[in-house]
Structure 1
Amino acid sequence: MEFGTIEREIHIDASPEIVFEVVSSPDHLKEWWPDEAHYSPTPGSSGEIVFGDPDAGGQAVQFTVVDVRPPRMFSFRWTHPADAVAVEGNSLFVTFELTPSGSGTLLKMTETGFREMGWEAAVLEKEYHEHVTGWDYFLSRLAPYVATLEPRP
């Protein structure tokens, strides 16, 4: 099995403008993915996202915005060391691509960079599977959250 790229596509019943806000804004992000999000949605901005309570075994993860093209694309690098600039080889790269589809939006999420991290095979497989499981769980929360924002006819 190849442990290099994770890709998911989901249809969301909302405009690309709304979906873009939900995948790029820290205030929206924390409603469907991490528990906390601290960054500016502008290229080059660095910050962190937090899963759980760091004082009780949770984890703060470094987060750097790479590219922002409203309402079509938002990308970032994450998981890099706190004292390092996010680059290929020390971080994973995530892209959300948004395409109008009927009355909604097709969101394509791609995460790459697993092989470039230099992990031994067992660690690579474990990390890859944890991210597959994580994205499957968190992306399933995205459309229901967006539905709470979008007025229904």
Structure 2
Amino acid sequence: MTVTPSVIKTVIVEREFAHTPEKVWRALTQPHLISEWLMKNDFAPVVGHSFNLQGEWGGVLDCEVLVVEQLKTLSYSWNLKHDDPAFDLRSVVTFSISPTATGTLLRMEQSGFRPDQRQAFGGARAGWPQFLTKLEQVLAERT
């Protein structure tokens, strides 16, 4: 009998913004700005801080800040508890920012999707580009 190891799936979206790394960092770390492009939250950029993201669909994500490297990296857990344990999602979202000649390259990676989580993985693949489009609007208008 051959056992195939589980393959953990990852969603990666990269986008270049015509804004400074400082401006992108503010949009990633200030709760009122996060609310405008991602979800309502009680975020604080402090390692170990537990916070919630409240989706428009009524769901609540339980999160914890894992890494804060000013103007470089922000990482937090992204966990969704479901009535059916098969739909529980335990993942990590990491934002990496790098200066470019014309602004900032933002790399978003959400890792930890199990092979049986096709719906969650598909939702993340469709959702993150939309969130980053909203982020671009926030950067242009608010920061």
- TM-score (normalizing by structure 1): 0.78
Q: Percent identity?
A: 26
8 Å CA contact 1:78, 1:93 repeated in 2: yes
TM-superposed CA distance for 1:3, in Å, is 6.4
- 5+ long unaligned stretches in structure 2: 1-6, 82-87
8 Å CA contact 1:37, 1:49 repeated in 2: yes
Q: Distance in 1 between matches of 2:45 and 2:8?
A: 29
Verify: 1:61 aligned to 2:65, yes or no. no
In the other structure, the counterpart of 2:120 is: 127
In the other structure, the counterpart of 1:44 is: 48
Aligned residues: 132
Verify: 1:92 aligned to 2:96, yes or no. no
Residue aligned with 2:74, SS = strand
In the other structure, the counterpart of 1:145 is: 138
In the other structure, the counterpart of 2:85 is: none
8 Å CA contact 2:91, 2:112 repeated in 1: yes
Residue aligned with 1:19, SS = helix
Corresponding letter in the other structure for 1:78: W
8 Å CA contact 2:8, 2:112 repeated in 1: no
Query: Over the residues paired in the alignment, what is the CA RMSD in angstroms?
Result: 2.1
Which structure: greater strand fraction?
2
Verify: 1:102 aligned to 2:98, yes or no. no
- 5+ long unaligned stretches in structure 1: 82-88
Q: Distance in 2 between matches of 1:137 and 1:95?
A: 17
